[in-house]
Amino acid sequence: EAQVTQNPRYLITVTGKKLTVTCSQNMNHEYMSWYRQDPGLGLRQIYYSMNVEVTDKGDVPEGYKVSRKEKRNFPLILESPSPNQTSLYFCASSFKNSYNEQFFGPGTRLTVL
């Protein structure tokens, strides 16, 4: 089954404790992206990647890191989480340079205390 998976689905953590949210897709997509969703703001892009070893900042990159060592994986790293990073996070993927829709993972609900 073609899909984007994210783990964990739910996470409660404390300020400053490093965490990683994993994202993996099995559709051989070049383009992968991370979004955060906050009420009234829709989805805002954090980082994206056009291909292996190619990443770039989106609209709200502060406090986040990413890596793209393999085509299928695109982890999101919060090295020192803060309460304002409490949000719903989505990973998405698609073929690059096309008008195809993005396929979304199930979301990760993160709470930083």
Partner 1 sequence: AQKITQTQPGMFVQEKEAVTLDCTYDTSDPSYGLFWYKQPSSGEMIFLIYQGSYDQQNATEGRYSLNFQKARKSANLVISASQLGDSAMYFCAMREGPGNNDMRFGAGTRLTVKP
Q: Which residues sit at the interface with partner 1, rule CB under 8 A?
A: 31, 33, 35, 40-45, 48, 50, 58, 88, 90, 92, 94, 96-99, 101-104, 106-107, 109
Strands (E) in 8-63, as ranges, are 10-13, 19-25, 31-38, 42-51, 54-57
Q: How near is the Cβ of 99 to partner 1 at its closest, in Å?
A: 3
Largest CA distance in the chain: 40
For partner 1, the closer CB: 12 or 17: 12
Q: How near is the Cβ of 66 to partner 1 at its closest, in Å?
A: 15
Residue 50 dihedral angles phi and psi, to the nearest 5°: -85, -20
